[in-house]
Amino acid sequence: MKFRNLCFIITLVASGLSCKKSNETSSGASPEVPSNPLTPVYNNRAISTDKAIYKPGEEATFTLDIAGLPANAKVRYKYLNTVIAETPVNAVNWKWKTPSNDFKGYLAEVYSLNNETEIIYATTGLDVSSSWKKFPRYGFLSKFPQLSDNEVDEVISNLNRYHINGLQFYDWHNKHHRPLPGTESSPASIWKDVFNRDIYFSTVEKYIISAHSRNMKAMFYNLIYGAWEDAEADGVNKEWYVYKDNAHRDKDFHPLPSPPFLSDIYLLDPSNSAWQNYLKNENRKVYNALDFDGFHMDQLGDRGGRYKYNGTFLNLADTYKPFIDAVKADQPQKDIVMNAVSQYGQTGIAQSAADFLYTEIWSPFDNYTDLANIIKANNTYSNNTKNSVLAAYMNYDLANNKGYFNTASVIMTNAVIFAFGGSHLEMGEHMLGKEYFPNDNLLMKEDLKKAMVSYYDFLVAYQNLLRDGGSFNNLNVTSEDGKINPAAWPNNQGAVSVVAKKVGTSQVVHLINFRNSKTSNWRDNSGIQVAPTQVKNARLSLTTDGTVKKIWCASPDNIGGVSRSLNFVQSGNKLTFTLPELQYWTMLVIEY
């Protein structure tokens, strides 16, 4: 059960797009729609892989659902802007042995050549990493009624197309203090969660098996300090609880209305070793009965002044690191991630044995700038060793009723999160709009479905520039023709925000288009955000401090994220070039 603070609560959309082969002219000619009526319709969901992530050297299987490909169609595999392999495409399915280099992202591009013009039919990203924790792309599951194998596999197959490599099993459990009813050798076949929903053991198990078949990890969700009203009858000691007073008269609890809820949630002291041992024992039962890969830990945020049973003051934030470390030491082979609600306790979590960082975002972190600052702060807290996932719930007020997500606000939020190196917890059986994950009031329109595939392909293909180190820096970008108004980050409505980052010997420049933005509030509660007007062939210059070898661009909004080399002119420390197009987000890479 999620709680809000202390309260309950590409590939391109167009058809058959093409781009000029290799180096584009400095005029930045935009893609053209092929005139041949037999050209297959471009579909960014027409290609898929069998796994969400691959170990180095593991064989990847591709499936292509496009009729009428020309005989000269090929697939090429690119690392950033470099082609590393290329073969003809003459079947619906084919295999590729992934490279032996660890923690790399690739883009597979299906294309053909027609009169010197490349026609791009489909692209998909590939993550070749020995562990999902380096580049976590976290999704969720929230409903566990009796489901067939086909129903389960349909959900997991859809998440696989977004390359989701880890799943949070939300509210899968029975009691918070005793998550698995029955015994580990004979667990209950069906039980109730706190919301009084039926949870089927068989469905949870099927989801784990299906996720593992796609190389996805399965993480069981639970509070680190939650107990139902009857917990003392189950062996929870009154001396383990958190109290509102120093005389242990008033237990701290989170009230939940009955019906439908089966219990209020009472809080235990995470630093209490007896409570740690109790929950570790319960976790062992879970792992023995179900093949979960780890523990997704949750909290309720800042509770204010609280006390232990003996009357001493309790700072809950200080308890998270020792709790995480104790649980990790008990099951070192299992993964751990913990929710820092509005960053509460994140400094300790980042220094603990947690495998990556996770922030559930609430006010006052309401602006696009706050998203970036949270990711950068997490990098600092972990000494740049742990990447971030943001639980950022979109169109929050709209999700009170049936309707649709605002496509523009979702894409803009993802552009900011991804450009700064984070990922977004948003994809499950449905897209996420509330902290109560089963809420599925809002649906994705077709344009958003297609865009999300492209954005996750992009996040994977360019993960070594987006999420693999580097340092943000300042770079002066100037418009030579007045088509855009570049402005250094933080975001500025009416301008194109420039986010610069040095990665190895390359200079990365993200251009995020806020020129006709209606709000700086990323959540866009009422759905007023609008899609940016696309800019084409904008002449730009920037200041550089070295001799440039190559400049290239890529965007999840255009041609499936395919990279394109650009012509440029360098005069001293001034580099001038033409940006082919910019809608939401385009990434430039300058190689020296």
Encoded tokens for 334: 């299992």
What is the per-residue pLDDT for 179?
98
What is the per-residue pLDDT for 1?
57
| Mean of the per-residue pLDDT values of the chain | 92
Which DSSP string corresponds to 542-570? EE-SS---EEEEE-TTSGGG--EEE-EEE
What is the per-residue pLDDT for 2?
55
Mean pLDDT of 434-457: 97
pLDDT over threshold 50, residue 562:
yes
What is the per-residue pLDDT for 10?
28
pLDDT over threshold 90, residue 17:
no
Encoded tokens for 291: 């093949």
Q: Which of 86, 82, 73 is nearest to 39 (CA)?
A: 73
Amino acid at 515: R
Mean pLDDT of 153-176: 98
3-state SS, 448-503, equals: HHHHHHHHHHHHHHCHHHHCCCCEEECCCEEECCCCCCEEECCCCCCCEEEEEEEE
Distance from C-alpha of 105 to C-alpha of 135, rounded to nearest angstrom = 10
- pLDDT tens-place string over residues 472-514: 999 999 999 999 999 999 988 889 999 999 999 999 999 999 9
pLDDT confidence tier of residue 22, bands split at 50, 70 and 90: very low
What is the per-residue pLDDT for 85?
97
What is the per-residue pLDDT for 398?
98
Mean pLDDT of 294-312: 97
Beta carbons of 69 and 40 less than 8 angstroms apart: yes
pLDDT over threshold 60, residue 131:
yes
Mean pLDDT of 110-138: 94
What is the per-residue pLDDT for 5?
38
pLDDT over threshold 50, residue 21:
no
pLDDT over threshold 60, residue 31:
no
What is the per-residue pLDDT for 91?
87
What is the per-residue pLDDT for 592?
94
Percent of the chain with pLDDT over 90: 88
pLDDT confidence tier of residue 136, bands split at 50, 70 and 90: very high
Mean pLDDT of 203-219: 98
pLDDT over threshold 80, residue 303:
yes
- pLDDT tens-place string over residues 51-103: 999 999 999 999 999 888 899 999 999 999 999 999 999 889 999 999 999 99
pLDDT confidence tier of residue 114, bands split at 50, 70 and 90: confident
What is the per-residue pLDDT for 116?
83
Distance from C-alpha of 551 to C-alpha of 542, rounded to nearest angstrom = 12
pLDDT over threshold 80, residue 553:
yes
What is the per-residue pLDDT for 134?
98
Distance from C-alpha of 136 to C-alpha of 253, rounded to nearest angstrom = 32
